[in-house]
Amino acid sequence: MLAYIIRRVALLPLMWLAATLIIFIVMSFLGPYQRLSLYLRSDPEMIVSAKHLNDEQRQRIFEKYGLNDPFYVQYFNWLGQVFQGNFGWSKTAQKPVLDALVERLPATLELTLLSIGPLIFLAIWMGVKSAVYQNKFLDHVTRFVAITGYSLPSFVFAIFALVIFYGLLDWLPPGRLSLWAEHIVYSSEFIRYTGLNLVDSILNERWDIWWDAFKHLILPVVSLSYLSWAGLLRVTRSSMLETLQQDYVVTAHAKGLPEKKVIKKHARRNALIPVLTLSGFVIVGLLTGVFIIETVFNYRGVGFWAVDATLKFDVPAVIGITLFTATLIVLANLIIDILYTIFDPRVRYD
């Protein structure tokens, strides 16, 4: 197993470079002025004025940033900028892309972390229970909830939730914090340790802000995780039903082993193999779902910024966010592959 993990880690740079190459190929179809903004660390007023320069001045600018070089030279020049943390200037955030990404990342991280845990563990637990109690009341309820969630587009569910719990009941507001809480959080009396509101409010012993941040997170977390949870639950149930019919499970029952031991030690572990595969796609789905959910709930994280940057044709911001997302996907695939060796000892990668 250790040899496999070492090989997979060694392949990470190659997979990441392949992702960056695809991104750069798409970038090569942009005009020179859009590509120029990928190299600038400050407000690129020169891009606007450069349109009125003569040919000689324009050529000097392009040569300075290597925009007239061969494709492979431009690629390595851009890659060098990326390794230095220079993703260009974002006109939507009015700051360098990396600074804007670091500023908005805690909000998205808080949302996704709260979504992943309940999503995976609750889906597995309910999927197993649904299979064990097949065609009973619990199974019928679980299947109904799962099919309903699986059929709804994420933005439809999010809008319905917003209309009911904010528009009608006025319980769970959109945004990340209330105005009064924002005023305190961004003041000198509140110390921002991590950028995660729930964590920072605990460290500052401000339980009123913690409760306000928690209320704002409920609807985005439920909307983001529910639809992916429904699909994962269905796969868990199907895999568990198939596993329960295997000979080794029937034999374990025939030997008189307790039901809980048969489920936990024999059936559930093997049933999780296809679930692990789907979990990787679920994580990717969460990354894309964040764009929709953050926009619907006015939750100003990376997803909200990505949509705003796309609508305003903020090329450096879109490229930076795409590169960041590709990196997360590569890491998620590595984690899923490693988990295979933990949940199923029969799997060997020698």
Task: Go through the domains of the chain in sequence order and give each one's CATH number.
Answer: 2-90 (no CATH), 98-343 (1.10.3720.10)
Give the whole-angstrom CA distance, residue 75 versus residue 262: 55
CA atoms of 58 and 28, how far apart (whole Å): 18
Residue recorded with tokens 């559930």 = 268
pLDDT band at 48 (very low <50, low <70, confident <90, very high): very low
Distance CA 78, CA 147 (A): 46
* 44, pLDDT greater than 50: yes
Q: Which residues contact 295 (CB under 8 A, 6 or more apart)?
A: 303, 304, 307
Q: Is the pLDDT of residue 264 over 90?
A: no
Place of tokens 């600018």: 61
- Condensed to tens digits (0 to 9), the pLDDT of residues 268-306 reads 777 777 777 777 677 766 777 788 888 999 998 898 999
- Three-state SS letters, 248-272: HHHHHHHCCCCHHHHHHHHHHHHHH
Token reading at 14: 């190659």
Q: What's this model's pTM, rounded to 2 decimal places?
A: 0.80
Residue 32's Cβ-count burial label (10 Å; 0-12, 13-18, 19+) is: middle
- 70-84 pLDDT, tens per residue? 888 888 888 888 888
Backbone phi and psi for residue 95, each to the nearest 5 degrees, phi listed first: -165, 170
305-343 pLDDT, tens digit each: 999 998 888 888 888 888 888 888 788 777 777 777 676
- pLDDT at 348 > cutoff 60: no
> 78 or 55: which carries more pLDDT confidence?
78
Burial of 188: CB neighbours in 10 Å, binned 0-12, 13-18, 19+: exposed
